[in-house]
């Protein structure tokens, strides 16, 4: 908290106790405004929490936030609803006492939401089991059910609680929620039959019409449109933008199933809700005698069906009143006004008692059957102080309740503080405060209070009216300082009070009440014959609500005001027996606008919530007080003199303890039975020291106990280990001996097999041979040839020679197959050509071996390199190969550069754009070349042609191979040695001599022969 004071100029202080001007109301409001504008809606006054409704969703209620506040010291984190809930829970668990959290404030200030958030916090953070999860779910889901039947839209709040609710959450000794109990107070039954403009009836009616399925509505005789029902249209706002009735209906149906409602229960319950709507639609008219009769019988038929009542008896009960005269019963017909009164009285009675049944049913599902002692945390969510344009009997009761709760606050916080300090002998400056007991007495005092006067008027014989009640008030309490009527008021005040009004000066301010309807609502009478009809109903819920024993009881029932006063007194007694925590809810503006801070409205609430008085007490007094025995019992471990046992008076032990801790004189006071600590930080330092000491003590105890357990476990394990080791060593020795025996037998068997290895396979050498085969095959697997040319092969043992030979053949075939499959089409053609070359030139012509590594090209020149005229001359023929050559003339053997073009059917010798010679493959007689490394090739043609063609080409192997393949005449190729004869022309022949010289050349020698000189082959 101290760290948060750095930003106090911007966001205010987290605790009003830290305000410099703690007596200034303006400073109080300014601090509240600063925090509200920063969406800091929670502020402390000591341990009291002030909550301002933000009217928007804030990220303050996540599971991570719940875990953050769980088990943390109260002032360690920023103010929050969860801190109040957690503090009450921890104190309950530590000290095993009961607590309650009183949530108070105006209607619309956020009380209902606060109680739901606290329930959710306990549901998430408390320990649980699968069985307890059911209880937890029922606690949470009881809220939407009670809200559906007990909440309604009012002018100030779209989800206003129209009843008071006190819920006890029961916890076992482990701190787990194991059950609960709910008390309800003064359900606003009049809302069933009448709503002010801008308000709605109870939520359940709209939820049923909006969310119920067609079959259910059909069975209940209802239509989906709420405008069809008189009890739902008086406020003229059946549809509200902020309320999703359809979705709320689904939640309520789910809640019913978890809270353990049977299908029969829900059927009867919805039948009652529907019957109330049908009752509102019953209209009466006068007969000829002025008696009331039902105009349309369709609605009463549905009511008869849903409530299980006889139709004619029900109809008679709604239009007649049974009067007892001595020993006789007489039916007195009702006029129209009394018939409408009877109809509304039935509707209110049915709904009011059904709500009580619903609360009891929920209590049955929450009840814990375990008889062990439980601690409880109570949540009181009750209607806030109400001042409407027209305030009636309901507002009178609600504001009386708030007076009592304010009195409780005064007694338990302000007055109790002062009395306790005086009792303990602590010096204290008395703080004057307004004690509203005078107002409570005005309302509830026996024989003299307003409630007693109201009951007198209701019960006295004769004609009692609301005006006679008002006159009685003026007569008996007219001199009271907090009571005013028009007759008693001064001239200025008289203008604002009507003749039928009276005004009470509450602690929260003046409220003017209209006395009209007070007697009727206080009596809340139901005609006897109507009660008889309901007591004999076949609807099980109605039968439980209206017992037959009521008909035998002739005593007049207590009035509503007296019942409410008694239940409120009982509630106050319950609360006085528990440790309190307070949450004060403030409504920032009337329009439910986020961020709007209405100073006038909030100042009024600060006043009637008693916040300034509470702040003055907290600032003047001590933040913490405990009995010596409890304080010493908790913190005695912090001082060696008091630990582990203090053998003396508790007060002396506490004094010794705080001196050892180091308390300063201004931080504490010692009373007669208690120690008082002024500053929370002093207590927190003590608590932190205790936590640290507790961990040390626990660690020491754990160390001792763990040491004992460890020693015992060690001895047990050592004994077991020795036994195990002995057994294991024996097992290992037996296993080793068995292994050695097996090894000797195996070695002997293999030696015998080696000796007889050359014999045919028999029992003596079988294992050795198999092992030899296995080792050979495994070794062979790692030494297989990598390619076809690799001729290496692992030498086999003699017994596997035949197998090895077969495996070698398979391996070679596999390699060949693998190699062949990996060849491309182009590569395959090249290899086929190389095969032809090999067949023609292998071992015959020099340079053949060097040519093996040189792949043949498809062609040496592209078709586009030829002259277009040549292409035109040989069109129609597919050109396969083109290469540059040197042609030697037959006359003089002059060298001329030409192109050799090979097509599908012919060979052409081409000069530029001319075809010098065409040789058809079919006429080809032979192809001759030398055995030397020259590039001379002679193409022999028939005698009727010009003569043989002498060519010299660079790639002779490629050219000759392609020519003989295209001509399909491999056999006509001849490789000659020394010389060859060729035909020069018709009838003439020439000789070509091949020799070796230092330089390659071709020339005509003196004898006229063509001499071809080639360089010798390098060795």
**Among residues 247, 192, 838, 22, which one has the least CA distance to residue 13?**
22
| Gap between the Cα atoms of 275 and 220, Å rounded | 8
Token output for 1002: 């071709």
For residues 606 and 620, the answer to whether their CB atoms sit within 8 Å is no
Among 386, 394, 424, 958, the active-site one is 386
| Gap between the Cα atoms of 824 and 321, Å rounded | 116
Residue 777 exposure: Cα atoms within 13 Å on the Cβ side:
11
Token output for 425: 């002998």
Q: In what order do the strands lie in the sheet with 624-627?
A: 624-627, 674-677, 668-670
Check if 161 is active-site: yes
Among 53, 87, 98, 107, the active-site one is 107
Q: What are phi and psi of 693, to 5 degrees?
A: -65, -40
**Mapped to the 3 state alphabet, what secondary structure does 695-745 carry?**
HHHHHHHHHHHHHHHHHHHHHHHHHHHHHHHHHHHHHHHHHHHHHHHHHHH
- In 240-338, where do the E strands start and end? 284-286, 292-294, 320-325, 328-333
Among 47, 104, 112, 320, the active-site one is 112
Does residue 103 sit in helix, strand or coil?
strand
Among 157, 190, 304, 392, the active-site one is 157
Position of tokens 């006429």? 923
Check if 468 is active-site: no
Q: What are phi and psi of 798, to 5 degrees?
A: -60, -35
Residue 750 exposure: Cα atoms within 13 Å on the Cβ side:
9
Task: Give CA separation, 511 vs 196, 243, 476, 623, in Å.
Answer: 18, 30, 20, 36
Check if 160 is active-site: yes
Among 31, 98, 160, 851, the active-site one is 160
Token output for 482: 């907090």
Check if 384 is active-site: yes
Q: What are phi and psi of 38, to 5 degrees?
A: -100, 15
Angle made by CA atoms 586, 587, 593, in degrees to the nearest 5: 145
Check if 257 is active-site: no
| Gap between the Cα atoms of 570 and 565, Å rounded | 9
Check if 108 is active-site: yes
E strand or H helix at 67: helix 63-69
**Among residues 566, 187, 574, 570, which one has the least CA distance to residue 377?**
574
E strand or H helix at 307: helix 298-307
For residues 254 and 137, the answer to whether their CB atoms sit within 8 Å is no
Task: Give CA separation, 778 vs 263, 653, 893, in Å.
Answer: 80, 92, 69
| Gap between the Cα atoms of 354 and 681, Å rounded | 51
CB atoms within 10 A of CB 602: 20
Token output for 412: 């338990």
Partner residues linked to 325 by β-bridges: 328
Angle, helices 298-307/311-319, rounded to nearest 10 degrees: 120
| Gap between the Cα atoms of 5 and 11, Å rounded | 9
Check if 985 is active-site: no
**Among residues 929, 899, 928, 904, which one has the least CA distance to residue 916?**
899
- Residue 368's Cβ-count burial label (10 Å; 0-12, 13-18, 19+) is middle
**Among residues 678, 643, 606, 169, which one has the least CA distance to residue 378?**
169
DSSP 8-class letter at 861:
S
| Gap between the Cα atoms of 819 and 813, Å rounded | 10
Among 179, 235, 384, 935, the active-site one is 384
Token output for 678: 């002024």
Among 105, 108, 164, 180, the active-site one is 108
**Among residues 883, 880, 909, which one has the least CA distance to residue 967?**
880
Token output for 712: 């015992």
DSSP-derived secondary structure for 577-612? TSEEEEEEEE---TT--TT---HHHHHHHHHHTTHH
Residues tagged active-site: 107-108, 112, 157, 160-161, 384, 386
């Amino acid at each position: 908290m101290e760290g948060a004071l750095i930003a106090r100029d911007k966001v205010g202080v987290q605790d009003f106790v830290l305000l410099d001007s703690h007596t200034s109301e303006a400073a109080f409001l300014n601090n509240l405004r600063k925090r509200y504008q920063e969406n800091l809606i929670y502020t402390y006054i000591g341990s009291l929490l002030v909550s301002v409704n933000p009217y928007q969703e804030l990220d303050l209620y996540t599971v991570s936030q719940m875990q953050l506040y769980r088990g943390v010291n109260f002032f360690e984190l920023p103010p929050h609803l969860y801190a109040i809930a957690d503090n009450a829970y921890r104190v309950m668990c530590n000290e095993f006492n009961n607590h309650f959290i009183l949530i108070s404030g105006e209607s619309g200030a956020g009380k209902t939401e606060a109680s739901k958030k606290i329930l959710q916090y306990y549901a998430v953070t408390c320990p649980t089991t699968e069985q307890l999860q059911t209880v937890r779910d029922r606690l949470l889901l009881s809220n939407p059910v009670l809200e559906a039947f007990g909440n309604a839209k009012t002018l100030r709040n779209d989800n206003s609680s129209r009843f008071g609710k006190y819920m006890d959450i029961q916890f076992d000794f482990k701190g787990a929620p194991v059950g609960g109990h709910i008390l309800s107070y003064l359900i606003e039954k009049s809302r069933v039959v009448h709503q002010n403009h801008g308000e709605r009836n109870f939520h359940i009616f709209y939820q049923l019409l909006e969310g119920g399925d067609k079959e259910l509505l059909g069975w209940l005789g209802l239509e989906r449109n709420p405008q069809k029902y008189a009890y739902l249209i008086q406020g003229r706002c059946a549809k509200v933008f902020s309320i999703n009735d359809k979705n709320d209906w689904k939640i309520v149906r789910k809640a019913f199933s978890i809270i353990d409602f049977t299908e029969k229960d829900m059927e009867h319950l919805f039948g009652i809700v529907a019957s109330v709507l049908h009752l509102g639609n019953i209209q009466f008219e006068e007969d000829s005698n002025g008696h009331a009769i039902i105009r349309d019988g369709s609605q009463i038929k549905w009511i008869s069906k849903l409530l299980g009542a006889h139709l004619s008896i029900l109809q008679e009960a709604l239009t007649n009143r049974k009067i007892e005269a001595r020993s006789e019963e007489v039916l007195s017909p009702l006029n129209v006004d009394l018939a409408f009164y009877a109809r509304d009285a039935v509707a209110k009675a049915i709904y009011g008692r059904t709500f009580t049944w619903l609360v009891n049913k929920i209590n049955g599902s929450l009840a814990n059957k375990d008889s062990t002692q439980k601690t409880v945390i109570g949540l009181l969510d009750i209607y806030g102080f109400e001042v409407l344009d027209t305030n009636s009997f309901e507002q009178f009761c609600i504001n009386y309740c708030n007076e009592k709760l304010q009195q409780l606050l005064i007694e338990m916080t302000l007055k109790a503080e002062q009395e306790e300090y005086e009792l303990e002998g602590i010096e204290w400056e008395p703080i004057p405060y307004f004690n509203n007991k005078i107002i409570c007495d005005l309302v509830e005092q026996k024989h003299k209070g307003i409630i007693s006067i109201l009951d007198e008027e209701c019960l006295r014989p004769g004609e009692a009216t609301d005006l006679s009640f008002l006159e009685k008030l003026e007569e008996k309490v007219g001199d009271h300082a907090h009571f005013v009527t028009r007759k008693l008021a001064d001239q200025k005040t008289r203008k604002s009070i009507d003749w039928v009004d009276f005004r009470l000066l509450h602690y929260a301010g003046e409220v003017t009440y209209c006395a009209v309807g007070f007697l009727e609502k206080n009596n809340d009478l139901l005609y006897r014959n109507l009660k008889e009809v309901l007591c004999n109903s076949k609807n099980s819920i109605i039968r439980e609500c209206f017992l037959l024993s009521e008909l035998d009881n002739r005593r007049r029932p207590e009035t509503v005001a007296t019942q409410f006063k008694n239940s409120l007194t009982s509630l106050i007694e319950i609360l006085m027996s528990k440790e309190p925590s307070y949450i004060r809810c403030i409504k920032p503006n009337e329009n439910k606008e986020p961020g709007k801070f209405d100073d006038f409205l909030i100042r009024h609430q600060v006043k009637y919530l008693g916040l300034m008085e509470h702040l003055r007490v907290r600032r003047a007094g001590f933040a913490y007080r405990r009995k010596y025995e409890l304080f010493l019992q908790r913190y005695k471990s912090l001082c060696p003199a008091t630990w582990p046992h203090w053998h003396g008076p508790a007060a002396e032990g506490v004094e010794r303890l705080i001196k050892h801790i180091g308390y300063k004189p201004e931080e504490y006071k010692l009373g007669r039975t208690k120690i008082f600590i002024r500053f929370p930080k002093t207590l927190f330092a003590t608590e932190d020291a205790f936590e640290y000491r507790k961990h040390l003590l626990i660690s020491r105890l754990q160390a001792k106990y763990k040491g004992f357990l460890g020693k015992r476990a060690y001895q047990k394990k050592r004994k077991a280990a020795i036994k195990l080791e002995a057994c294991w060593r024996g097992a290992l020795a037996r296993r080793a001996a068995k292994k050695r025996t097996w090894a000797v037998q195996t070695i002997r068997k293999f030696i015998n097999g080696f000796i007889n290895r050359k014999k045919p396979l028999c029992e003596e050498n079988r294992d050795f041979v198999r092992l030899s085969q296995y080792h050979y095959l495994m070794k062979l697997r790692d030494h297989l040839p990598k390619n076809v040319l690799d001729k290496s092969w692992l030498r086999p043992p003699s017994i596997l020679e035949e197998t090895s030979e077969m495996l070698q053949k398979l391996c070679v075939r596999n390699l060949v197959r693998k190699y062949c499959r990996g060849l491309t089409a182009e590569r395959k053609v090249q290899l086929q050509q190389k095969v032809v070359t090999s067949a023609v030139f292998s071992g015959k012509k020099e340079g053949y071996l060097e040519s093996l590594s040189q792949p043949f090209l498809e062609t040496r020149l592209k078709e586009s390199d030829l002259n277009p005229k040549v292409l035109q001359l040989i069109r129609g023929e597919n050109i396969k190969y083109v290469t540059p050559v040197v042609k030697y003339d037959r006359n003089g053997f002059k060298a001329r550069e030409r192109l050799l073009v090979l097509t599908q059917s012919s060979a052409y010798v081409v000069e530029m754009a001319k075809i010098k010679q065409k040789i058809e493959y079919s006429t080809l007689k032979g192809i001759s070349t030398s055995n030397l490394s020259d590039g001379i090739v002679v193409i022999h043609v028939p005698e009727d042609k010009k003569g043989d063609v002498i060519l010299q080409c660079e790639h002779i192997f490629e050219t000759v191979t392609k020519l003989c393949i295209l001509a399909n005449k491999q056999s006509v190729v001849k490789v000659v040695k020394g010389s060859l004869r060729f035909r020069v022309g018709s009838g003439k022949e020439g000789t070509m001599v091949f020799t070796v010289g230092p330089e390659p050349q071709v020339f005509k020698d003196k004898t006229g022969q063509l001499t071809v000189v080639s360089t010798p082959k390098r060795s």
